Amino acid sequence: MTNGFEYDIVYLENETEVTNMETKWNDDWRSELERIDDDCHTRLCECRNTRKDLIKMAKLVKVFNPEKSSEDCLVRMMDWVGDWNGQFEVTDLTMEEYYKAINDIEKFAKKYIKIEVA
């Protein structure tokens, strides 16, 4: 298991690698995170993120993966921070926090994409 920076995630289905583009994630959001919030990026690398970081990163994941749902992006970051970085206390959201985060991710992605396209 790596820290998530050195290798792409491999998805397996019936013990054969899935090459379908729907299963692939664009993880270039990490470079953007480093550019806009180096402290958050450093915390990610050092496995010491906050709940606020979790939502911020999920927003960028959505921007870099517009074909994915906001919920999928939040779950991906919860997996990343929880399973891969061992920070389960950060991912323990109430249902209210969870749905608020999904709405915030969706709003941010729409605004961010408009700025980048303009």
Residues pairing with 16 in the sheet: 13
- What is the residue extent of each domain of the chain? 12-117
Q: What is the pLDDT of residues 12-47, one digit of tens each?
A: 344 333 333 457 999 999 999 999 999 999 999 999
Task: Reduce the DSSP state of residue 93 to 3 states and report it.
Answer: coil
Question: Residues 35, 37, 38, 41: what is their CA dihedral angle, to the nearest 10 degrees?
Answer: -100
Q: What is the mean pLDDT of the chain?
A: 82
Q: How far apart are CA 44 and CA 15, in angstroms?
A: 30
Q: What is the pTM of this model?
A: 0.76
Is there a contact between 5 and 28 (Cβ–Cβ < 8 Å)? no
Between 24 and 3, residue with greater pLDDT: 24
HEC profile of 68-79:
CCHHHHHHHHHH
Residues pairing with 12 in the sheet: 17
Residue 90's pLDDT band, with cuts at 50, 70 and 90, is very high
